[in-house]
Amino acid sequence: MAYRIERTGAGVAVYAEEEGTDLSLSPLPGVECLTPDQPVGRRTYRKRFFRKKIYLPDERPVAVNAHLARTPSTFVLGMNGYSRLTPEQCRAWGVQPRAYEILCQEILVQAVRRLRRSFDGIEIVLVHGASDMGVDAAVMAAARETNCRQLGFNCLPYLFYVADDEQPVYVAETAAAYSDAFVASLDVLIAANGRLQAYETDISAVFKHRKRLIPVNVLRLISSSGGPPAEDGSGKIEDAVAFFEQRVWTVGQRTASLLPRDQVPVVVTETGSVLEAMARYVLPPECGLRLARA
User: What is the distance between the alpha carbons of residues 168 and 113, in angstroms, rounded to a whole number?
Assistant: 24
CATH 3.40.50.450 positions along the chain are: 54-288
Helix (H) or strand (E) holding 177: helix 175-185
Q: What phi and psi, each to the nearest 5 degrees, are found at residue 212? A: -110, 145
The predicted pLDDT at position 30 comes to 94
Identify which of 181, 179, 114, 102 has the alpha carbon closest to the alpha carbon of residue 142. Answer: 102
User: What is the distance between the alpha carbons of residues 174 and 155, in angstroms, rounded to a whole number?
Assistant: 5
Cα-based distances in Å from 92 to 84, 88, 180, 225, 264: 14, 6, 32, 9, 21
Give the HSE-up count for residue 70: Cα atoms under 13 Å, Cβ half-sphere: 11
- Cβ neighbours of residue 256 under 8 Å, at least 6 residues apart? 220, 263
Q: What phi and psi, each to the nearest 5 degrees, are found at residue 151? A: -145, 135
Q: Could you report the average pLDDT of every consecutive run of 10 residues in the chain (294 residues)?
A: 92 94 89 94 96 97 92 93 93 94 95 94 96 94 97 97 96 94 94 80 82 92 90 89 82 55 81 89 77 60
User: What's this model's pTM, rounded to 2 decimal places?
Assistant: 0.87
- What's the topology of domain 54-288? Rossmann fold (3.40.50)
Do the Cβ atoms of 20 and 55 come closer than 8 Å? no
The predicted pLDDT at position 252 comes to 54
The predicted pLDDT at position 71 comes to 86
The predicted pLDDT at position 257 comes to 52
